[in-house]
Amino acid sequence: MKLFRQMLVAPAALGLMAPLAANAAELNTNSNFSAATAEVQNFSDIHPSDWAFQAITDLAERNGCSVGAPKASMTRYEAAALLNKCLGDVSQVTEEESRLLNEFAPELAVIQGRVEGLESRLSEFEAGQFSSTTTMNGKAAFITGYVDNDDATEESDSITMEYMYQLNMNTSFTGEDLLYTRIKAGNVGDHFGDKGQGTYLSATKTGTGSLGVDKIWYQFPVGDSLQVWVGPRIENYYMLASAPSIYRPVTKQFALGGNGVVYGSSTSPGLGAAWTQSVEDPSSPRWAFSAAYTAKDGASSSDDEGLFGQDGRSALLTKLEFGAPRWQVSAAAAFKDNGWEDSYFTTSAGKERASDSSETAVGLRAYWKPETTGGIPSVQVGYDFSNIDDAGTGNADETSGWMVGLGWSDLFIDGNRAGIALGSRVSANSIVGGGDDPADDNTVWEAYYSFKINDGVTVTPAIFGGEDTYDGTEDISGAVILTEFRF
């Protein structure tokens, strides 16, 4: 990369000479070189009859850098550029060369400042910082896998290969705030884009491959203990003091300690705030409280919808937590109106809501991490239950679901990790008018081992499955190889 930098900067620096000479009166250098530019009093050409012209051409011939040297008059900046090119080791110069350096010192200072500025900008570019306020990173995922669904109407035995591509733009204007923009594309469909049967992957991006803004919000602090979020495309679980789960899933149903009726959300307009207790010792337990509001119809101008309309689907999530870096217990309550539905970790009967129903959902979470990595796993547990008002005949008015996840870091080899999760998707405990949820005894699971090839490439083979996952008839089994490239 150093060679690349030299190849890029050298011609760029020489290319600066012509506009510098032609527009010397309009030179705009930074303050470090203002003194040098002030000393440039004479911008007249250097003629063959001048001592400096002959001295420079002799120097060029001696040092083998005469290619491109002017045969007639040259500007002072052309002369300084040639001098800079030919004198590679300024610690060993003749008396005449020393005189040349003194003569063209102001022009050499300006040239050096321009070159250093170019190198600084190139370093920022190499580091992913293409502007003074924004950095960028991203990842790509290749998804190769197979799913067998025992439901005869959806039976499939084909191996598929799909992709996801994501760019994360992080912009800060004060050093403490953040404008986050996620640009994403993918062509995932069929099984690996199916929320109902539980095979929707954490790496999935459905669509036809078009790049689009997937998330965008602004975050800023208020004082030392409060963080505030607001944005037109955000989900409730991004606006929390800390994540409710430490388990890293392959299938998205196991995210958030069970991606169900409490933390389940949609990318929507929203706002939120989180308060975290200040403690002197970072390892000490502390309290935190978060509140997040999202409106699924927040971008709609229809009557009584929008961000706060009485007919719009909205959700208010609150979370109270207590814990330290290695453990946490939390309780969350979500209040959802106008038939808001979530489907990543629910059965069909556990998901469906009447359009004018309202729901109160409670989520309990706890996790623990071992002091050292290796053979002892971290543990994540989650339990959700909810009550639905105005559910309507045939719809659930009570639901519940649970999950347990085990995760190993540095298992067998440093950098590799593994995970196992088991759960029961949120199903209907009670249905208005009678009846049972045919999938109330459902079970879902996954297991994986992730190989870290290097700092940028990870390969994760995983298997997963479930019984009665959605409507009581689907038994699922499958495997996937997830290859992720991070940059």
Residue 124: the pLDDT is 64
Does residue 461 carry a pLDDT above 80?
yes
Q: CA 56, CA 450: separation in Å to the nearest integer?
A: 63
Strands (E) located in 240-357: 268-276, 286-295, 314-324, 327-337
44 and 169, same structural domain?
A: no
Q: Is residue 26's pLDDT more than 70?
A: no
At 416, list the tokens.
């590799």
Number of H helices and E strands in the chain, helices first, is 8, 16
Q: Quick check: 2 pLDDT over 60?
A: no
- pLDDT value, residue 155: 56
- Alpha-carbon distance of 201 to 343, in angstroms, equals 13
Is 180 found in the same domain as 119? Answer: no
The pLDDT assigned to 156 comes to 62
In which domain, by residue range, is 199 found?
Answer: 136-486
pLDDT band at 11 (very low <50, low <70, confident <90, very high): very low
194: β partners = none
Task: Please state, in angstroms and rounded to a whole number, the distance separating the CA atoms of residues 402 and 381.
Answer: 8
Q: pLDDT tens, 415-429?
A: 999 999 999 999 999
Beta strand 396-409 with 160-171 is unpaired
Residues near 60 by beta carbon (within 8 Å), at least 6 away in sequence: 66, 69, 82, 86
Q: Which of 22-31, 85-94, 108-117 has the lowest mean pLDDT?
A: 22-31
pLDDT at 417: 97
Distance CA 424, CA 468 (A): 10
Dmax (CA) for the chain in angstroms is 108
- Cβ distance 188 to 143 under 8 Å? yes
Q: Is the pLDDT of residue 112 over 90?
A: no
| 164 contact partners, CB below 8 Å, separation of at least 6 | 140, 141, 143, 184, 185, 186, 188, 203, 204, 205
> What's at 113, amino acid-wise?
G
Ramachandran angles phi, psi of 283, nearest 5°: -85, -5
Residues 186 and 55 in one domain: no
How would residue 51 be classed by pLDDT, with cut points 50, 70 and 90? confident
Note whether 431 and 475 are same-domain residues.
yes
Model pLDDT, residue 313:
93
User: What are phi and psi for residue 347, nearest 5 degrees?
Assistant: -80, 175
| Same domain membership, residue 356 and residue 379 | yes
Q: Which of 19-33, 72-86, 251-265 has the highest mean pLDDT?
A: 251-265
Is 39 a residue whose pLDDT tops 70? no
Q: Which of 21-35, 110-124, 463-477 is predicted with the least confidence, judged by mean pLDDT?
A: 21-35
Residue 130 falls inside a structural domain: no
Last residue of a domain, one of 125, 153, 170: 125
Q: Are residues 116 and 146 in the same domain?
A: no
Given this model, what pLDDT does residue 90 score?
55
Look at the chain and report how many structural domains it folds into.
2
Whole-model pTM: value is: 0.75
pLDDT at residue 151 is higher than 50 = yes
pLDDT in tens, 367-425: 999 999 999 999 999 999 999 999 999 999 999 999 999 999 999 999 999 999 999 99
> Are residue 285 and residue 338 in the same domain, yes or no?
yes
pLDDT score, position 88: 62
Q: Binning pLDDT at 50, 70 and 90, where does residue 472 land?
A: confident
Residues 482 and 427 grouped into a single domain: yes
**What's the distance, CA 405 to chain centroid?**
24
Query: Helix (H, G, I), strand (E, B), or coil: what is residue 95?
Result: helix
Q: Which of 96, 125, 154 is the last residue of a domain?
A: 125
Q: Tell me what percent of the chain is helix, strand and coil, each rounded to the nearest 5.
A: 20, 40, 40
Give a yes or no: residue 187 inside a domain.
yes
- Give the per-residue pLDDT at 334: 96
Averaged pLDDT for residues 282-305? 93
Pair 424, 343 in one domain: yes
- Please compute the mean of the pLDDT values over residues 299-306 and round it to a whole number: 89
Q: Where are the alpha helices (DSSP H) in 328-428?
A: 348-351
- 67 falls in which pLDDT band (50, 70, 90)? low
Same domain as 318, residue 234: yes
Q: In Å, how far are 139, 404, 485 from 453, measured between CA atoms? A: 15, 28, 10
pLDDT at 351 exceeding the cut of 90: yes
Cα 367 → chain centroid: 24
Residue 80 shares a structural domain with residue 29: yes
Which residue in the block uniquely carries the two structure tokens 């009678």? Answer: 434
Categorize the per-residue pLDDT at 365 as very low, low, confident or very high, splitting at 50, 70 and 90: very high
Among 93, 125, 157, identify where a domain stops. 125
pLDDT at position 16 is: 41
What is the pLDDT averaged over residues 454-470?
Answer: 96
Token pair recorded at residue 351 = 């998901």
Summarize the confidence of residues 157-185 as an average pLDDT. 95
Do 154 and 6 belong together in one domain?
Answer: no
Residue 17 pLDDT greater than 70, yes or no: no
In this structure, is residue 374 part of a structural domain?
yes
Closest CA to 339 of 352, 351, 355: 355
Would residue 131 count as lying in a domain? no
Report pLDDT digits (tens) over 74-90. 888 888 888 888 876 55
Give the rounded percent of residues in the chain with a pLDDT score beyond 70. Answer: 84
In the chain, what percentage of residues exceed pLDDT 90?
65
Rounded-to-integer distance, Cα 278 and Cα 287, Å: 9
Please state the separation of Cα 200 from the chain's center in Å.
20
pLDDT of residue 4: 35
The pLDDT value recorded for residue 95 is 77
State the chain's mean pLDDT as an integer: 86
65 pLDDT more than 90: no
pLDDT band at 35 (very low <50, low <70, confident <90, very high): very low
- Residue 332 inside a domain? The answer is yes
Q: Are 167 and 213 in contact (CB under 8 A)?
A: no
**Gyration radius from the chain CA atoms:** 32
Q: Which helix (H) or strand (E) holds 19?
A: helix 17-22
The pLDDT score that the predictor gives to residue 91 is: 60
Q: Is the dihedral of CA 240, 242, 245, 250 positive or negative?
A: positive
Q: What is the CATH number of the domain that holds 243?
A: 2.40.160.10
